[in-house]
A and B are shown apart, each in its own frame.
Chain A
Amino acid sequence: DAGVIQSPRHEVTEMGQEVTLRCKPISGHDYLFWYRQTMMRGLELLIYFNNNVPIDDSGMPEDRFSAKMPNASFSTLKIQPSEPRDSAVYFCASNTRWAASGGVGNEQFFGPGTRLTVL
């Protein structure tokens, strides 16, 4: 397995544009997490899904942010409209409670991240 896959790896856009970040979790994992990493705030959980259903979106900063998981192998994080303060690295992570599917308790497996720059 290639691990968690994220695209694009880098995104540069202008303020006001729509940005869509994509994530493919590890096959068999039923939990998916979106994080934002900044120098000032470290790693913040934005939202997470279980079996494609959003469980906790309390970390989503505002209505400009939305996330979907239409199926077990794909999720998107959308920012519309984007602002310069959204510039950060966005990580996706996945895991499962089922050891038969490769789960190791609460260990989360992270993607390489998408570095977003909003000018």
Chain B
Amino acid sequence: QSALTQPRSVSGSPGQSVTISCTGTSSDVGGYNYVSWYQQHPGKAPKLMIYDVSKRPSGVPDRFSGSKSGNTASLTISGLQAEDEADYYCCSYAGSYTLGVFGGGTKLTVL
């Protein structure tokens, strides 16, 4: 069970947009529409931002959006704000035996 591949870091200026990728295989990301994204600030528990590839839980700003193409899922944050600076993790269903796998995480820096 290999972790999904995410860039170690991304950055952007306030007001700009950034996209974080999450690459897996046809056995996980590419095979199912069950990708979720989590935001984690230092010392805090992860927070659900996106589920089922592109759905937003109540209370999550519409600046956050998700998509998928083939074996790669993406999280896009538009209109970057200082409070968006955090680590972001993707997670995908990976079949009835493995069940779930997380990405390695991406550190977002707001310049």
Tell me whether A and B are bound partners.
Answer: no
- A residues sitting closer than 8 Å to B (CB atoms) are none
